[in-house]
Structure formats: C-alpha cells, structure tokens
Amino acid sequence: MIIFFLTVAAAVAALAGGYTAIHSRKYLHVALAITSGLVLGLVAFDLLPEIFEGVENQKLDPVWPMVMFAVGFLVFHVVEKLILVHGETESEYGPHHHPKLGIIRAVALAGHSFLDGLSIGVSFQVSSAVGYAVALAVVGHRFADGFDTANFMLLNRNKLHHIQQLLAFVIVMPVLGGLASLVISFSEAALVVYLGFFAGILMYISAGNILPQAHTKSAPYKMISLTVFGAAFMFVVTRFV
C-alpha cells in the first residue's frame, strides 16, 4: 500500500509541473531556459550518480552504460534530423518546431516514469529505508519531469489537448511501475544500462534542442542566469532534499 501512495505522490508532482508549464505559455522562453538547466541538473546530479552507484554495486564495466548514453544522444539526434530535415537542404535547417518531437519526448519520458515507479517498488524489496530514500528522490524530480514534458511539447507546437493527454499518460506511469514491481522484477544491471540510454536522450534535448530555443529571444544574460538557476536548483533537490 505504501508503494501505491508514494507513486501517486510522484504522479501528483509531475501533474503540478505540467500544470505550471501550461499556464505560463506567455513566458515560454523563460520557462525553457529554466527547463534546460533542470534537465542538465537531472542528468548530472541524479541519473549519472545512479548509474555510477549501479555500476559499482553490480560490478559492471562502466563503458556499457556510457555506450548507451552515446546511443541515446545519437538516436534522438537521428530521429530529429530524419523528421525535420526530410525534404529540406541542410542550410535551411535552423530553429525548428515539430509536433512529432513533442510526442516522442513524452513517450520517452513515459518509459522513464514507469521505471521511476518500478524503482520505488523494487527498492522496498531491499529495505524500507532504501525505499523511502528512493521515493524521496523520485518525487523530488517528478515536478521537473512534468514541467519539462509540457514545455517541450509547447515548444514543438503540440495542441493543448494532445499535451494534456500525453501528460496524463506520463503522470500515471509511475503508479503502474509501482504496481508492476509487486509482480515482476528486473535486474539492477539492466536498469543501469537503460538509465545510460535515457540520460543520453535528455542531454541531447537539453543542449541540442531546448537551450537553443530559449536563446532565440533577447536578454541573453537573463536566459543564461535562468539556466544556471535551473541546474543549481536540481543540485539542491537531489543532494539535500
């Protein structure tokens, strides 16, 4: 029962993040600058430490999660190029918006959200202390996940009702992951490798997609400051909260 309540808390946190993003569309570039920092912080201060810890615990060769990191980065880059450059010359490829990218982003995050819930459930199989610690970390970054997903879909001009539908899908996945942990289990080694893949996707989205769009407006120093703030905020959340 506690797993269900904790995964619901994670879902509510993501809902709050998505709601905040949807109702701040007039300040989308400001939100994107913050989001880029949040995603960078999520990768640097949450996902990569989890990967390193998993590598140590499972005695894995660290090259494999890093290979998947590169694969995730390149896969999203290739998908983006195939979608957006098809029929265009390379010189015409500049600042861009495409609804399919928003959908791909949401689906990718849904998979991660499922594993968030699964991680909560599996951690309780180790001990209650570990379970609560993992749950706290998951709930702490779910707000950023919901905020980031909605902002990325707004950036790529997805319709509002599509954003709401896919955000609902992302929000419910931690609950399903938590329930799945009651009947199935995956090796920590497999989760570590997956986290490398997902971290690569997020790194591309942050540096190659969101950040350039955030700086298409004026006030570059303000945008830079907001990006730094987003990364610093995620550091505080993952290290101290």
pLDDT at 50: 83
- Cα Rg of the chain (Å, integer): 17
Confidence of residue 183 (pLDDT cuts 50, 70, 90): confident
| 3-class secondary structure, 177 | helix
Amino acid letter at 14?
Answer: A
Overall average pLDDT of the 141-146 stretch? 70
pLDDT surpassing 80 at residue 143: no
Question: Which string of b and e fits 51-83 if b means at least 16 CB within 10 Å?
Answer: beebbeeeebeeeebbebbeebbebbeebbeee
pLDDT at 92: 43
Number of helices (H), then strands (E), belonging to the chain: the values are 10, 0
pLDDT at 87: 40
pLDDT single digits (tens) 216-225: 666 678 888 9
Confidence of residue 179 (pLDDT cuts 50, 70, 90): confident
Overall average pLDDT of the 171-185 stretch? 83
pLDDT single digits (tens) 46-93: 889 888 988 998 889 999 999 999 998 998 888 767 654 444 444 444
Mean pLDDT, all residues of the chain: 77
Amino acid letter at 11?
Answer: A
